[in-house]
Copies of this chain bind each other. A is one copy, B any other.
Amino acid sequence: MSSKTIPRRAVFCVSDHTGVTVEALARSILSRFEGVDWVYLVRSFVDTDAKASTVADEIVRIGGRLDDRPIVFTTLINKNLEKYVDTADALVLNTFSAFLPPLSKELGSLPSRDIGSFHGMADSKGYQLRLDAVDFTLSTDDGVNVHHYDRANVVVIGVSRCGKTPTCLYLAMHYGVRAANYPLTEEDLVSPRLPAALENHIDKLYGLTIDPVRLHQIRQQRRPDSPYASLDRCRSDIERADRLFRTIGMTPTDTTATSVEEISARIVKSMKLGDRPKV
């Protein structure tokens, strides 16, 4: 191993709104560059001269403490606000500047400068659909209310602590998908047949699996040194669940090194749940 220290470098994500999108973009792009320890600093709701000026000061101050000048990603459309940020010694990348000119040309119209153009999104139909999906997912978490499966878009199945709940919540919140989840318990796994609650919903099932050693670590945190958390029990649970998946001709997704975002995107793709209304 090299003893060379990895340089720390600040990444400011500056937005006149939540900053969620610009941060995701910055992380996605910078993940392509190795050998730098990126320190992310999100500055949201930067919508006045005073706030923009404060952020510019921070860029100078915090940037100066790290190993190199900061990288700044902004979504500021207001040129006056952008000016403050531009004064700092940093590489400033403006998301809108890159894309608005070709879009304006294509559409033959100028973009709105209204920083509030996203504010009404809580009113939209797609937004309500997402909140209703979160309600549905919570009400059917962990195998309860199986009689609601008629209304589910997908029923995620797998052994306890393999990642079903966070995946379903992400599916609901991000995609507006009504995602129920059903834990394959020891009783369910004594025979390699589908539990009765799932029999009528085979088209909606999506299986998750996980490495037994990782499962053991996760269960240990939950119930240390319990039979439930033992490596033997984890191995046997996974083995029997995998046998059940094979019996019904399903290839489960392994969640061991796959994020909730990625599992969700795979489920949406393979179950054809995309292209639905959304904010």
Residues of A within 8 A of B (CB): 17-21, 24-25, 27-36, 40-42, 44-45, 71, 75, 77, 91, 93, 95-96, 98-100, 102-103, 106-107, 109, 111-113, 117-123, 127, 131, 134, 138, 141, 163, 165-166, 169-170, 173-174, 255-262, 264-266, 268-269, 274-275, 278-279
Interchain Cβ contacts under 8 Å between A and B, 6 examples:
A17-B265, A29-B100, A31-B117, A93-B99, A119-B258, A259-B279
Q: Identify the 6 closest CB pairs spanning chains A and B, nearest first.
A: A18-B265, A32-B111, A98-B98, A122-B259, A21-B24, A91-B106
- Which B residues touch A264, using CB under 8 A? 18
Measured CB to CB, the nearest residue on chain B to A90 is B106
Q: Give the docked Cα–Cα distance between A100 and B25 (Å).
A: 12
A77 B32 Cβ-Cβ under 8 A = yes
Closest beta carbon of chain B to A154's beta carbon, Å: 16
Q: Give the docked Cα–Cα distance between A222 and B146 (Å).
A: 19
Closest beta carbon of chain B to A166's beta carbon, Å: 5
Q: Give the docked Cα–Cα distance between A29 and B103 (Å).
A: 9
A18 B262 Cβ-Cβ under 8 A = yes
Closest beta carbon of chain B to A80's beta carbon, Å: 17
A40 B278 Cβ-Cβ under 8 A = yes
B29 A134 Cβ-Cβ under 8 A = no
Q: Give the docked Cα–Cα distance between A95 and B96 (Å).
A: 11
Q: Give the docked Cα–Cα distance between A62 and B41 (Å).
A: 40
Q: Give the docked Cα–Cα distance between A33 and B258 (Å).
A: 36
B18 A261 Cβ-Cβ under 8 A = yes
B259 A127 Cβ-Cβ under 8 A = yes
- Which B residues touch A117, using CB under 8 A? 31-32
B118 A265 Cβ-Cβ under 8 A = no
- Which B residues touch A257, using CB under 8 A? 119-120, 122-123
- Which B residues touch A18, using CB under 8 A? 261-262, 264-265
List 8 additional contacts besides A17-B28, A24-B24, A127-B259; criterion CB under 8 Å.
A18-B265, A29-B96, A29-B99, A40-B275, A41-B274, A121-B259, A173-B173, A173-B260
B275 A41 Cβ-Cβ under 8 A = yes
Measured CB to CB, the nearest residue on chain B to A263 is B122
Measured CB to CB, the nearest residue on chain B to A109 is B33
Q: Give the docked Cα–Cα distance between A119 and B18 (Å).
A: 26
- Which B residues touch A141, using CB under 8 A? 138
Q: Give the docked Cα–Cα distance between A151 and B48 (Å).
A: 35
A20 B100 Cβ-Cβ under 8 A = no
Q: Give the docked Cα–Cα distance between A42 and B275 (Å).
A: 7
Q: Give the docked Cα–Cα distance between A63 and B178 (Å).
A: 29
